[in-house]
């Protein structure tokens, strides 16, 4: 019995692989290494370099390794890129996911865990936002993920494959032991950018929008530490193995921080000051997105351990230093 992790060489997937190994699971990784790294996958884990939409490849793998569960991370995840290239996003995130799900059903895969996103809510009316909020994604990225949520709902009704959809909020931090972390070059995510500015790897940073209807005018987000996030997938696996019903859960701490608050914490934890420019809103950004997390706690029994922004930022700083030294 094997768990297939697609995108297991990427940021979140590589943390998942470590968590599965620690739990004694047998794991294989399928990754095309477009944004992932071979070094991020431990040597004792088979890494198949290929496309999760390649039906012949996937059908062969599922059979050869007796795969019973799939955790599907591999995706394109950059919102502005999805606006410029919607068809690329619908091909990769939606059409190829359909192929993967078809192979899974045909191979008798029992459980499927899917990485979705808070982007399915668009600009939510409520904060915190619950899973029952109206779904109005504002980007091709959000829509490309929502269509897969719907596919899985229909497939689980028609076939004996149950699923959990996890809607991620803003993922940050890294493995506390520093084995893997967010390594994407040119990442645009707030904590990564602020940490690079603190370490002098970039001259400064911008705050995109200080006129949102939030306490200090800057955007508010729910920053979830990556090992807490992958633990929700372990909880989902246990839930499904016990015969639990298919479900969709937010994964976040139900606590929001503004951009200006995050920058203050980065300055305080790093002890470094850096220039911060107040700039206009970034197109497509929304004011406040904070997870309601009652469901992931009650249905999956999720218990976060790293709900501490200073700790998350400390991890991000340590990882960024390590990455910089590795590049030499
Ligand atoms: N942000 C910012 N400066 C940056 C990067 C991000 O002000 O250099 C803001 C962004 O406008 C949003 C928040 O930080 O309010 C989180 O953005 P990020 O890109 O990290 O994640 P998103 O919520 O867009 O997925």
Per-position DSSP letters for 220-284, written without gaps between them: EE-EEEHHHHHHHHHHHHHHHHTTPPPEEEEES-S--EEHHHHHHHHHHHHT----EEEEPPPTT
258 Cα to the center of ligand 1, angstroms:
10
Residue 202 in tokens: 């970039």
* pLDDT score for 285: 87
d(CA 295, CA 285): 26
Task: State how far Cα 145 lies from the chain centre.
Answer: 12
Spatial strand order in the sheet of 220-221: 257-258, 220-221, 288-289
Give tens-digit pLDDT for 15-62. 999 999 999 999 999 999 999 999 999 999 999 999 999 999 999 999
Task: Report the mean per-residue pLDDT for the chain.
Answer: 96
The phi, psi pair for 278, rounded to 5°, reads: -85, 120
CA of 245 to the centre of ligand 1 (A): 34
Model confidence pTM above 0.95: yes
> What superfamily does domain 2-170+226-251 belong to in CATH?
NAD(P)-binding Rossmann-like Domain (3.40.50.720)
- Given ligand 1 and candidates 77, 190, 262, which is best to mutate, with the most ligand atoms within 8 Å of its CB? 190
**Contact between 106 and 61 (Cβ < 8 Å):** no
Over residues 267-282, the pLDDT tens digits come to 999 999 999 999 999 8
Closest atom of ligand 1 to 212 CA is 15
The radius of gyration of the chain from alpha carbons, rounded to an integer in Å, stands at 19
CA of 260 to the centre of ligand 1 (A): 11
């Amino acid at each position: 019995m094997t768990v297939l992790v697609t995108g297991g060489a990427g940021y979140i997937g590589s943390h998942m692989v470590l968590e599965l190994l620690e739990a004694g699971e047998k794991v294989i990784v399928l990754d095309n290494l477009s944004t992932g790294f071979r070094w991020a996958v431990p040597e004792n884990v088979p890494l198949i370099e290929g496309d999760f939409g390649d039906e012949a490849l996937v059908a062969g793998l599922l059979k050869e390794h007796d795969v019973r569960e799939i955790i599907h991370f591999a995706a394109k995840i950059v919102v502005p890129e999805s606006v410029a290239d919607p068809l690329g996003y619908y091909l990769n995130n939606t059409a190829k996911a359909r192929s993967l799900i078809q192979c899974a059903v045909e191979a008798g895969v029992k459980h499927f865990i899917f990485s979705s996103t808070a982007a399915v809510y668009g600009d939510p009316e409520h904060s915190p936002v619950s899973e029952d909020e109206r779904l109005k994604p504002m980007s091709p990225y959000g829509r490309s993920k929502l269509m897969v949520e719907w596919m899985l709902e229909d497939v689980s009704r028609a076939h004996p494959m149950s699923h959990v959809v996890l809607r991620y909020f803003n993922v940050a931090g890294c493995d506390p032991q520093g084995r893997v972390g967010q390594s994407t070059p040119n990442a645009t995510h707030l904590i990564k950018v602020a940490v690079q500015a603190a370490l002098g790897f970039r001259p400064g940073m911008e705050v995109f929008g200080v006129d949102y209807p939030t306490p200090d005018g800057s955007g508010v987000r729910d920053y979830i530490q990556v090992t807490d996030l992958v633990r929700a997938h372990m909880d989902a696996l246990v839930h499904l193995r016990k015969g639990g019903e298919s479900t969709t859960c937010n994964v976040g701490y139900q606590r929001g921080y503004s951009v200006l608050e995050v920058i203050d914490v980065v300055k305080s934890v790093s002890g470094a000051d850096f220039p911060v420019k107040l700039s206009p809103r970034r197109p497509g950004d929304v004011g406040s997105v904070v997870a309601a997390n009652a469901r992931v706690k009650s249905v999956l029994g999720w218990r976060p351990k790293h709900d501490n922004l200073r700790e998350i930022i400390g991890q991000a700083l340590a990882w960024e230093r390590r990455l910089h030294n590795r590049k030499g």
